[in-house]
Chain A
């Protein structure tokens, strides 16, 4: 680990001031990802501004929920309203990491965690995310875990979060603050696709701080779920995951929310599948057609082509479960 100075922020203005005055500063939440990356010298901040003492509140707002960015993952998953009204979010969080890590990790840090692509961690490998312009050894390497949607010739890494898959399906809004003032960004627009600059992962400005996440009211999300397919039953990253909410009337899809994890550089909202599905009969045939529409642009690499069929089948299975037509 390279040396750094440390300061704890008491409030948002304090955090912004510290980040602005401490050379080479990064924000520190629970540290579960950043400390690990610092130990590997993939991250080398010269200062850490600890924002874990900022707002941890989880409050009702306009029928939805307003979540302080420093709330722990465990607190959000255990929250009664989340469990009742947004079960896909509770299940997504609980499907991620271990109890120990969920106790440490913050909501803001979960959103900004970095890929677990092994080439990103390995200084002996080429990685455009770690060293822009170096090249990518994953594209022709061991890429079983990598992206089939939204990748570029420069980077095929996936975003590792489970929580974000549910958040993007729920139209979550991210609230931020910086020297230019506060703003709010739909989570769907926060993470960017790699294109030619995979080192730029979000639309956040330097030292822009995530202060809260807002969930709009979505009554039909009370009937929602999250399913994660992985190489072992627990404590592993997703090969494919699906967050879905579904409401049917007279056997037809009235409305649907669908998002995928483990397949793309960002939490992947399945907009195409959703638009194909609305108004269609709530049958396995419709669900498969919608899944295939979403995956039409998918590109498989040497080791991960199986994710296309796996994602399709997982979408069909989850939607069938929610529709009550599971066979």
Chain B
């Protein structure tokens, strides 16, 4: 079986029961992605599959053969930290840090969803061409990522600072 992780094609063999999360952490040594609830409730395991955010704990690795997975390790480019990672430091977007990799991956994909004009349940005009990342929109769109330290204020500030374009 083959899977592409952070741009690199990797051959793997695993029991059919292996989750994508366990494949990343235990087989490939990419321990940035975290196991929180292991049942799709907390979002700590969020990774990108072909650019879309998913819960890797609910994904069977065999089902993701041939797909391009991006983990938090893959967010950092040549120039060091991703701008969102720098903003998390700047705005105190974490305390213990356990949910942070999931928050980062989730927010990067969310910015893409906004770009593509996907609505959320709090979007007033479902047919609007342009989506705006207001505070309420951000909280709703990030509700799949829990932070038990309660660092939400910093998380919201960091995401806003990175992705909300200030009109001049």
- The interface residues of chain B lying within 8 Å CB-to-CB of A1 are 17
**Shortest Cβ distance from residue B135 to the other chain A in the assembled complex, whole angstroms:** 13
Chain A residue nearest to B56 (CB atoms) is A100
Cα(A238)–Cα(B110), bound, Å: 24
- The interface residues of chain A lying within 8 Å CB-to-CB of B16 are 3-6, 48
Max chain A Cβ within 10 angstroms of own Cβ: one of B38, B106, B117, B144:
B144
Evaluate contact between A98 and B143: CB separation under 8 angstroms.
Answer: yes
Evaluate contact between A78 and B118: CB separation under 8 angstroms.
Answer: yes
Find B58's partner among A36, A84, A234 (CB 8 Å cutoff). Answer: A36
Q: Count residues on chain B whose CB falls below 8 Å from chain A CBs.
A: 38
Which of the segments A88-96, A273-281, A311-319 contacts the partner chain? A88-96
Q: Does B139 belong to the interface (CB within 8 Å)?
A: yes
Contacts A83-B126, A84-B127, A234-B140; A6 near B60 (Cβ below 8 A): yes
Chain B residue nearest to A225 (CB atoms) is B126
Evaluate contact between B40 and A36: CB separation under 8 angstroms.
Answer: yes
Contacts A74-B118, A104-B54; A31 near B43 (Cβ below 8 A): no
**Shortest Cβ distance from residue A245 to the other chain B in the assembled complex, whole angstroms:** 14
Cα(A3)–Cα(B117), bound, Å: 41
Cα(A104)–Cα(B49), bound, Å: 10
- The interface residues of chain A lying within 8 Å CB-to-CB of B120 are 94
Evaluate contact between B144 and A100: CB separation under 8 angstroms.
Answer: yes
Max chain A Cβ within 10 angstroms of own Cβ: one of B17, B43, B49, B63:
B63
- The interface residues of chain B lying within 8 Å CB-to-CB of A91 are 121, 126
Q: Does B33 belong to the interface (CB within 8 Å)?
A: no
8 Å CB interface, B108-163 against A: 109-110, 113, 116-121, 123, 126-127, 139-141, 143-145
Evaluate contact between A100 and B143: CB separation under 8 angstroms.
Answer: no
Evaluate contact between B53 and A99: CB separation under 8 angstroms.
Answer: yes
Chain A residue nearest to B50 (CB atoms) is A103
**Shortest Cβ distance from residue A219 to the other chain B in the assembled complex, whole angstroms:** 16
Cα(A8)–Cα(B64), bound, Å: 11
**Shortest Cβ distance from residue A58 to the other chain B in the assembled complex, whole angstroms:** 14
**Shortest Cβ distance from residue A113 to the other chain B in the assembled complex, whole angstroms:** 12
Find B40's partner among A3, A50, A84, A101 (CB 8 Å cutoff). Answer: A101
Cα(A36)–Cα(B153), bound, Å: 31
Q: Does A267 belong to the interface (CB within 8 Å)?
A: no
Q: Does A235 belong to the interface (CB within 8 Å)?
A: yes
Evaluate contact between B58 and A31: CB separation under 8 angstroms.
Answer: yes
**Shortest Cβ distance from residue B162 to the other chain A in the assembled complex, whole angstroms:** 17
Q: Does B68 belong to the interface (CB within 8 Å)?
A: no
Max chain B Cβ within 10 angstroms of own Cβ: one of A5, A80, A87, A98:
A98
Evaluate contact between A39 and B39: CB separation under 8 angstroms.
Answer: yes
Evaluate contact between B52 and A103: CB separation under 8 angstroms.
Answer: yes
**Shortest Cβ distance from residue A86 to the other chain B in the assembled complex, whole angstroms:** 10
Evaluate contact between A35 and B59: CB separation under 8 angstroms.
Answer: yes
**Shortest Cβ distance from residue B23 to the other chain A in the assembled complex, whole angstroms:** 13
- The interface residues of chain A lying within 8 Å CB-to-CB of B19 are 35
- The interface residues of chain B lying within 8 Å CB-to-CB of A235 are 143-144
- The interface residues of chain B lying within 8 Å CB-to-CB of A190 are none
Cα(A63)–Cα(B61), bound, Å: 40
Contacts A35-B58, A234-B143, A235-B143; A78 near B119 (Cβ below 8 A): yes
Q: Does A115 belong to the interface (CB within 8 Å)?
A: no
Find B55's partner among A3, A4, A104, A234 (CB 8 Å cutoff). Answer: A104
Q: List 27 A-B contacts (CB under 8 A).
A: A3-B16, A6-B16, A6-B60, A6-B62, A31-B60, A32-B58, A35-B19, A35-B59, A39-B39, A48-B16, A74-B118, A78-B117, A83-B126, A83-B127, A84-B127, A91-B121, A98-B40, A98-B144, A99-B110, A100-B43, A101-B40, A103-B53, A103-B54, A104-B59, A234-B143, A235-B143, A235-B144
Kindly list the 7 A-B residue pairs having the minimum CB-CB distance in the complex, ordered from nearest: A98-B144, A234-B143, A94-B121, A235-B143, A83-B126, A1-B17, A6-B16
Q: Could you list which residues of chain B lie within 8 angstroms of chain A, going by C-beta atoms?
A: 15-17, 19, 38-40, 43, 46, 49, 52-55, 58-60, 62-63, 106, 109-110, 113, 116-121, 123, 126-127, 139-141, 143-145
